[in-house]
Amino acid sequence: MVALESTIIAHGLPYPQNLEVAQELEATVRDAGAVPATIAVVDGRPCIGLAAATLEKLAKDGRSFRKAGATDLGVMMATGKNAATTVSATAVLAARAGIRVFATGGIGGVHRGDSLDVSNDLTTLAKTPIAIVSAGAKAILDLPRTLEMLETLGVLTIGYRTDEFPAFYTVRSGLRLEHFAGTPTDLANILHKHWDDLGNTGGVLVANPIPAEASLDERLITRAIDDALASAVSHGITGKALTPHLLAHLAEATGGGSVRANRALAKNNAKVAAELALAYTPTVEGRLTQRTLLSPYPN
């Protein structure tokens, strides 16, 4: 199984584009031979895999779904709320269900200009046994500090067919990676050694670059990011509202180019994640946990 987040559906894109992307990512996982599990909280109930009607409701009525990180889950469940799950919340719920592979666009990290503004994605990944396939961290972040924080937290970071940390919208960042793998089997072998043989309980970041043909011009995206950050400062936008603001600004500045790139890299990550999930066989304990926690359809 491959976990997929729901924030991109509820808060990342407008309808019907968000529904198209959600369906496309699930189809990509299925076409590769794995089972997709889009995760969300519906009426206070964590759902590991969404029925078609629920997926459409999430896309059409995203504003009624709160944006939930890992630390928000208990509140959402206790109060019976609807919530779209971010990277951290998706990772926690997926791991609880025994899923070991999760595909997303890019993880959160250390924000530019404020080394104390660190996404919960990093600390959650450090203590959650799941492999996240992403195009590195979001390009709006401080990538060198993010990579350093991953190392500090003990998160194993592996480049997939690259020895360089990808910069989300572009293939290269100039930041070298110590470890890399060339096939899903290579990645799966590393996961087995990391978790099953060594007993590590933390997560693994699989840094998978955007396909070269979808990569944006580095100068264009750098200028757009600088303008987006300046706009956020001038409007006093911080916290959970910051990333949506920056992404909307980038979409406008690039004439939709950033959205197309985001879609291409997310699909590529879903494909690689599915291939990894097939190559990695979870433990018996993990399969039993998955069987007991999966939400029955419909949700």
Q: What is the pLDDT along the chain (299 residues), one digit of tens a residue?
A: 999 999 999 988 889 999 999 999 999 999 999 999 999 999 999 999 999 999 999 999 998 999 999 999 999 999 999 999 999 999 999 999 999 999 999 999 998 876 678 999 999 999 999 999 999 999 989 999 999 999 999 999 999 999 999 999 999 999 999 999 999 999 999 999 999 999 999 999 999 999 999 999 999 999 998 998 898 889 888 776 777 788 888 989 999 999 999 999 999 999 999 999 999 975 434 443 444 344 433 45
pLDDT at 294: 46
Upper half-sphere CA count for residue 151 (Cβ side, 13 Å):
11
Query: Cα–chain-centroid distance for residue 88?
Result: 8
pLDDT at 264: 96
CATH no., domain 2-281:
3.40.1790.10
The span from the CA of 274 to the CA of 101, in Å, is 8
Q: Which of 5, 57, 67, 275 is catalytic?
A: 5
The tokens 């009525």 sit on which residue? 61
**5 an active-site residue?**
yes
Contact indicator for 279, 2 with CB cutoff of 8 Å: no
What residues does each domain of the chain span? 2-281
Closest by CA position to 131, among listed 260, 3, 286: 3
**193 an active-site residue?**
no
Q: Which of 26, 57, 67, 138 is catalytic?
A: 138
